[in-house]
Amino acid sequence: MSSAKDIALLPDAGPLITLAYADALDVLFKPGWTVMVVDMVVHEVTRNQTPTSNKLAAWVASAQIPVLPTKTFDHFKQAVSENPSARTRNLGELAIQETMNDFALKVPPKTGVFLFEDHKIARASFLVPDNCRKISTRAFLIFLEQKGLINSAADIERRAVQAGRSFSTLRFPP
C-alpha cells in the first residue's frame, strides 16, 4: 500500500508563478505529497528577472525541493549553445512529460501529479501515463479547499491577481 509521500507533485512554471504571486507556495505541500520540480521548469521560472524569479529560486533552495534532471533540459542547453534563438516554448511541459514517462517505467510505477495552468495542456493530446494525473492550478486549489487543507481557493486566486498575476479564467474540470 502506498502512502501520500509516494506521490510526486510536479508543478509546471505557470502554477509556481501564480502561487508565488499569491505568497502561497506552501499549499503545494498540503496534500502530503512529495513536491519535485524538473530542471527545465526551474530554468524557466528563474532565467529572467521577473517579480517572482528570486522568490521561486529561494523557495526551491530553502524548501530543498528535489530538482529532477531531464534529457529535455540537456537538449535545450546544447541547442542554445549552438543557436541562441533555439526553440524554448513548452519545454517545461515536455520535461515533465519525460519525467512522468520515467515514473511509468519504474517497478512499481511511481504516481505523478502534473500541476498545470496553461489551458492548452488540458486537451487530450497531452498524454500522461496511467499512473499519472494532470490537474489545473484552480482545480488543485479547489481540491485542497474541499479536503479542508486551505480555507479558500478563491482567496489564493484573488491574492495572485491583486499582486499582478494574469490568472487563467478558464475552469477545469469543465
Output the CA angle 120-125-126, nearest 5 degrees.
Answer: 70
114-129 pLDDT, tens digit per residue, is 998 866 555 545 667 8
Mean pLDDT of the chain: 88
Distance (Å, whole) CA 71 – CA 80:
14
Determine the pLDDT at residue 23: 97
Distance (Å, whole) CA 79 – CA 1:
43
Higher-pLDDT residue of 169, 159: 159
Kindly state the percentage of the chain with pLDDT values over 90: 68
Contacts for 129 with CB less than 8 Å, ≥ 6 apart: 100, 101, 103, 104, 109, 112
**CB of 57 closer than 8 Å to CB of 46:** yes
Determine the pLDDT at residue 5: 78
Kindly state the percentage of the chain with pLDDT values over 70: 89
CA distances (Å), 74 to each of 69, 90, 91, 95, 97, in order? Answer: 8, 15, 11, 10, 15
63-117 pLDDT, tens digit per residue, is 999 999 999 999 999 999 998 887 777 899 899 999 999 999 988 888 999 998 8
Determine the pLDDT at residue 87: 75
- Which whole number is the average pLDDT over 39-47? 96
All structural domains of the chain: 4-162 (3.40.50)
**CB of 76 closer than 8 Å to CB of 53:** no
Determine the pLDDT at residue 107: 86
Phi-psi region of 106 (alpha: psi -120 to 50; beta: other; left: phi over 0): beta
Q: Helix or strand or coil: residue 68?
A: strand
Of the candidates 88, 91, 85, the one whose C-alpha atom is nearest the C-alpha of residue 40 is 91
Asked whether the predicted pLDDT for residue 170 surpasses 80, the reply is no
Q: Helix or strand or coil: residue 98?
A: helix
- Name the amino acid, one letter, at 161: V
